[in-house]
Structure 1
C-alpha cells in the first residue's frame, strides 16, 4: 500500500538539561526511546532538530551583566555611547541593556519607529500620518514623542518600553537621553561612539556609521566574542541570540554547533544504522499576521546543520501541472502523469514556470520554522523535534 501521510513533525520529550550534560547522548537516547515507545521506524533522511537553548545550557555558555559592562568599558572607554535600534523585548534585550548601561556614563538610546526590527510596534503607521510625522526624516525627543503619542503600552506584554528602558538605564547608574529616529547616522548628532543593536541589518548600519565619521562603531555581535573574566562567549555572534537566564545572567547563543550536529548524526548511525540529518534551531522565520511581530530575533534560524540540509527545495507546483500540462487528464491517469513528471523533473527548477509559487527559502529556514512552531516557547517540554517525510514528494 502506498504511503498516505506526508511530512510529520513530532516533539520529543527530554530530561531538563543542565550545564555539563552530554547533550548528544541525551538527544540520541530520547529520540530512540520515544520512537520505540510509539513503534515508529527510523528512516534515512529523517531529521533531528535540537533547540539552541538546551545546547547553550549544556555548554554552560553564560555571562553576567557585569561581564557585559566590563566588555563595554574595555571597548568604548568613558563618556557617552549611542545605543541604536534595539528590539523591544524583556527576554532578549532588557538584561543586555542593563549591562550596556552599567558600562557607560551616558546612553543616548535611539529607538526606531513605528516599530522595532522584528515588528514590535510603538504606534501604527496610520497614526504617524495623522500626526504629520515622517519616520524617515523626523527625529523625535522623548518629550515630543509623549506629546504626540502619549503612553504606549505593548499589546502582548503590557509594557511601556520607552519608560521601561529609560528606567533600566538610570537604575544601572548611567544618564539617559531617548530619541526616536530611523536613520543610523542621526545618532552622530549626539555622540561618535555607537553600539548598533539591530540584528539582520547590522552590517549596513555599521557601514553607514563608519562612512559618516563615527569614531567607534560596534554591534551586539562584537561584545562577548571572547571570555570576559571567565564568562561564556560566542566568537561568531557575540551577544546576538542571547536570552535572559536570571536577572543577573544571560544565556548566550551556543558555540561549536557544527561539531554537535555531526556528533549526533554519527551516534545515531552507530546506534540505529540509519543516517539522519541533524540541525540546531533557534527562532523560526515567520511573521504573525495579527501582532505584526516577525519571530526571528536570533541572528540565524540554524547555527549548525549536517550536509543533507544544505540548499533549497527543488519542487514543482502540483496545481500548476494539473491546470496546464495535464488539464485534460483526471483520476489515475492524472496521478500517473504528475508522478512521472516529478520523477523526471530538472535538478534545478529556478526560473521555470512550473516551480512558480513554491517557497524559495533555504531548507534550514523552512525546517527550523517548522521546529520552532512544533516545540513552542513555553512548557511543552519538547526541545528535540523529529521530522519524517520532509524530503518525500507525490511521486513517492
Structure 2
C-alpha cells in the first residue's frame, strides 16, 4: 500500500546571473538531484522556478533614472499625488527614489492602520482610543502627534520617517496624508500615480472617471527607456530592489522558459511534467498580519496542465455523513470508490465543503514559496510529486 502522498523538494542550483541559460541550469540541476536522491520522474510531476532567477537571467532591470524619466514623460507638471504604496524597503523604496528624483513635489497618500499587504503604520490600540476612525482623513501633523512614535516590530523602523528621508534626499518636497479613500488625493492633486497591487485597475479607473490624469504603477516602464528593461503587463509591479540604483522587474520570458523546460524534461524522461514560474505565495501571516502576495500574480507563467481549480471531495464530510456507520478498511475502500466516481466538476456540491476553492497555480505557488523561502536556502527550483494524487491512487 502506498504510504506517502505529496512530496516537495527544494532543488539546489548554481547561483544564477544575467544571461545564464536558465532552462539548461534547471534541467541539469533536476537530473543531478535525481541521481543524488534516487527519485524517478512521474506523469504530472511539477517543476517550479522562482520568478527572481527568471528576471535575473533575462537581465530585466531598470535604473532609478529610468523610473524618473518615464514619470516625467507622463507627469510633466512634476507635482503628483502618490496613492497607496506598500511600505517596503525591498519592494518600493527604490521605486520611490525614482519618483522623487523625477518630481519636484509628492503628496503621498497611504491607507491606515496598514498598507495593502498588511505592513503596519500605526498602533491600532491608539487608533481605537483616539478621535480618529477608519473613515477619517489624518494629516501629517496629526499622525506625528498621535501615532508618530510607532516602530514596526519586525523592521524596527517607522516607514513614514524612512520614506520622508528618502524623498527629501532627492531634493523633492513631500506631504503625507492618511486616508482609506483614494479619492481624498484629488483634494491635493489631479496628477496621480496609483501604487496599489491587487485593486490597481479599479483604483485607476475610479480616479480617471473623476477627471484625474492618472497612471498606475503597472503602467510605468511598460516600454523600455533607452536600453532599459520593461514589463508590458505589470510595469513596475512585482519588482525588487537589486542595488541602491537598480530594480529587477517581474519577468517577461516566463512562457518561453516553462515551455522549454517542459519540452526538455519530456524528451529526457518520457513523462508529462508540468512547469511554472512562481513569485510570492498567496497567504497571510496571522502573527505579523502581513499578506505575502506583493507580486501582481502568484504565477506569471505556467504550462497548460496547471490551469484550473482543485476538484476534490472532503474526506471528513463523506466519512461523517455518507459512511458514518463504516470503520477501518471498509470505510477506506468506500471512500476510494467515492473518489473514483466523483463528478468531473464538483462546483457547488456539499461534498466539497471545506476544500480550498483557489486557482491551482496560487496553491502550488504558495507551497513553492514556503519551500524555497526568501533567504539563503539556495533552492530556486522546486520539484513536486504527487500533488494531483488522491487516496484512490495506490
Question: For the Cα contact (< 8 Å) 2:258–2:303, is it kept in 1?
Answer: yes
Structure 1 residue 123 displacement after superposition: 2.4
Q: Once the two structures are superposed, what CA deviation does each residue of 1:130-153 show, in whole Å capped at 9, x if it has no partner?
A: 1021222x2111110011113221
Q: Once the two structures are superposed, what CA deviation does each residue of 1:214-236 show, in whole Å capped at 9, x if it has no partner?
A: 1x101110001011121000000
Q: Once the two structures are superposed, what CA deviation does each residue of 1:220-273 show, in whole Å capped at 9, x if it has no partner?
A: 100010111210000000000000000001000000211211111001111221
1: CA distance between counterparts of 2:175 and 2:163? 11
Q: Which secondary structure state, in structure 1, belongs to the residue aligned with residue 90 of structure 2?
A: helix
Corresponding residue number in structure 1 for 2:226:
229
Structure 1 residue 77 displacement after superposition: 0.8
Structure 1 residue 74 displacement after superposition: 0.6
The normalised TM-score by structure 2 is 0.98
1: CA distance between counterparts of 2:10 and 2:355? 26
1: CA distance between counterparts of 2:67 and 2:80? 14
Structure 2 residue 77 is matched with structure 1 residue 67: no
Question: For the Cα contact (< 8 Å) 2:78–2:102, is it kept in 1?
Answer: no
The normalised TM-score by structure 1 is 0.98
Q: Which secondary structure state, in structure 1, belongs to the residue aligned with residue 319 of structure 2?
A: helix
Q: Which secondary structure state, in structure 1, belongs to the residue aligned with residue 166 of structure 2?
A: helix
Structure 2 residue 304 is matched with structure 1 residue 307: yes
Alignment of 1:186-225 (within 5 A): 186-214=184-212, 216-225=213-222
2:379 pairs with one of 382, 390, 395: 382
1: CA distance between counterparts of 2:122 and 2:62? 34
Q: Which secondary structure state, in structure 2, belongs to the residue aligned with residue 244 of structure 1?
A: strand
Alignment of 1:308-387 (within 5 A): 308-387=305-384
Corresponding residue number in structure 1 for 2:16:
17
Structure 2 residue 254 is matched with structure 1 residue 245: no
Q: Once the two structures are superposed, what CA deviation does each residue of 1:103-153 show, in whole Å capped at 9, x if it has no partner?
A: 1110001111000000011124443221021222x2111110011113221
Alignment of 1:104-123 (within 5 A): 104-123=103-122
Question: For the Cα contact (< 8 Å) 2:217–2:236, is it kept in 1?
Answer: yes
The runs of 5 or more residues in structure 2 that have no matched partner are none
Corresponding residue number in structure 2 for 1:151:
149
Structure 1 residue 53 displacement after superposition: 0.2
Corresponding residue number in structure 2 for 1:290:
287
1: CA distance between counterparts of 2:208 and 2:77? 20
2: CA distance between counterparts of 1:150 and 1:122? 9
Corresponding residue number in structure 2 for 1:272:
269
Q: Which secondary structure state, in structure 2, belongs to the residue aligned with residue 297 of structure 1?
A: coil
Q: Which secondary structure state, in structure 2, belongs to the residue aligned with residue 327 of structure 1?
A: coil
Aligned pair count reads 393
2: CA distance between counterparts of 1:211 and 1:127? 36
The runs of 5 or more residues in structure 1 that have no matched partner are none
Corresponding residue number in structure 1 for 2:5:
6
Question: For the Cα contact (< 8 Å) 2:72–2:78, is it kept in 1?
Answer: no
Question: For the Cα contact (< 8 Å) 2:104–2:172, is it kept in 1?
Answer: yes
